[in-house]
Structure 1
């Protein structure tokens, strides 16, 4: 059975650390999944389940948010937006099997249908991404609905497309000749440079939202009503009990850092566990980047190393946003 992508090859790009990124790339987001909520109670139901303010979400905007357990530990981090006749949320595919049943657990009492979508997920990246969206899809705003799906602006050089397979083929046909085709490792690189958090299976139910900077990314509303895990999240803000944050680190590595890997930190002449890798990217010259959750009181010049590769030291890089910026 043929699919929309049979004639296309989405490979891992070979990029050195100092190489410019493609001015336009079409990314096949196979490691991501989409959840849809449809029904008149979808917004009110979700409002009581997640950290972000669903009620105030404009149809032309998207928001980050987290779905937590009762202890405030995150099952997933998602991007939420209006999609077709309801809501769509983008999250890592690895958590779908465990997170989705938890989200649906109490939906039997509400008029909402929650399910995994069959939409194709594509990314457009690069300095020409905005112009390409304008030319191919038209419309205005950071979330654009069209006949066969939705386009969502992620940042200045990225758009997400959630479309049916026919639309995916049509869009690919229009831009493939002028775009580099990539697997979603290129999306990982953008996420790491923008310090956008995620939850994979290896890091599920380990961190509260502030440990991955969601308060600085407008992913937590401290003004909305109760939701699952809200007591812990509020206590972390008002009592200042959160002792961790997510940072960007860089160094040489033989293997690409992956979610759940251990990063050690120097303590005098010794090394101790410093934090947990959230996502990693490796350039062709073995220079690597990673997102890692660390204690938020470390000195900026603290040395790090991967526990699995102790011969190479890593360093912390500046974040592209302030951790003091709260919703």
Structure 2
């Protein structure tokens, strides 16, 4: 089946661990999907389903959030923004088939239409991403709407474009001469370095939102009303029952770590399960990075290894944000 990207070649970049990232890269986000909610009840319906405050989300903002089951375990982590005549919700494509029916389950009682979008998804990364968006898309703010779709700022060096296929194809072809083209492993690298969480099928319904630092990233509102899983999420904050957090780790690996892989930690002369890999990236020299959920009370300097690579040694790196509640 042909797609908007068929005229261009988006390959995995060969980057060593000490190599600078491209000043401008176009990223084909093939492992990501977009959900849209359209209808007068979309905001109120979603407010009762997710961890973030949808009612307070302005047109120029985006937010992270989580959709949980009744026990507070996450079905997905998403980025939410105003899109076309409703809301756009970016998440990993791997959870679409299981998560989307759950999101739609009670929508029959509300005036909202929830469906997977046919819009194409293109990422822009690098120090020139902001200036490029200003030139080719225009507008102001962190979320920029047009008749063709929406541009969303992810962080200081990343923008997402969700638009119709013709628009995305035209933009990509226009920028291809001055940009590096990459598959979405480059997006993975940015997510890991930024400590930005995600849920794939291998980690679905495994963790509560605080286990992946959503409270530190503005993805949980503790002031809004009830939503699915809210009791568990609130109890984790007020009673301090959450014992895990997400961290960045680095080490040598024979293959790229993937979601669901086990990272072991050293305990004296022995090794025990330490945590679960959320996302991984491998450089061309086999140096690797990963996001991993670990106990939040580990001693500084704890050694780690991949369970299926017992000779490997990994170490924890600092997060680019604080996990302290009062920060």
TM-score range for the pair, normalised by the shorter chain length: over 0.9
Give the total of aligned pairs. 327
* Corresponding residue of 2:236: 236
Superposed counterparts of 1:236-315, under 5 Å: 236-315=236-315
Q: Could you list the per-position Cα deviations for residues 185-205 of structure 1 after superposition, in whole angstroms to 9, with x for gaps in the alignment? A: 000000000000000000000
Report the CA distance between 1:325 and its aligned residue: 4.6
Distance 1:306 1:244 in 2: 19
Q: TM-score, normalised by structure 1?
A: 0.99
Distance 1:236 1:23, change over 3 A: same
* Corresponding residue of 1:217: 217
The answer to whether the aligner puts 1:157 opposite 2:157 as a matched pair is yes
* Corresponding residue of 1:23: 23
Distance 1:149 1:326 in 2: 37
Contact 2:126 2:158 in 1 (8 A): yes
* Corresponding residue of 1:103: 103
SS in 2 for 1:14: coil
SS in 1 for 2:254: coil
Gaps in structure 1 of 5+ consecutive residues? none
SS in 1 for 2:281: strand
Report the CA distance between 1:4 and its aligned residue: 2.4
Contact 1:4 1:165 in 2 (8 A): yes
Report the CA distance between 1:300 and its aligned residue: 1.9
SS in 2 for 1:18: coil
Q: Could you list the per-position Cα deviations for residues 42-62 of structure 1 after superposition, in whole angstroms to 9, with x for gaps in the alignment? A: 000000000000000010000
Contact 2:8 2:173 in 1 (8 A): no
Superposition RMSD in Å: 1.0
Q: TM-score, normalised by structure 2?
A: 0.99
Distance 1:303 1:182, change over 3 A: same
Distance 1:76 1:311, change over 3 A: same
Off by >6 Å, runs of 4+ in structure 1: none
Gaps in structure 2 of 5+ consecutive residues? none
Report the CA distance between 1:3 and its aligned residue: 3.6
Q: Could you list the per-position Cα deviations for residues 1-54 of structure 1 after superposition, in whole angstroms to 9, with x for gaps in the alignment? A: 754222200000000000000000000000000000000000000000000000
Q: Could you list the per-position Cα deviations for residues 250-274 of structure 1 after superposition, in whole angstroms to 9, with x for gaps in the alignment? A: 0000000000000000000000000
Contact 2:4 2:120 in 1 (8 A): no
Contact 1:215 1:326 in 2 (8 A): no
Report the CA distance between 1:173 and its aligned residue: 1.9
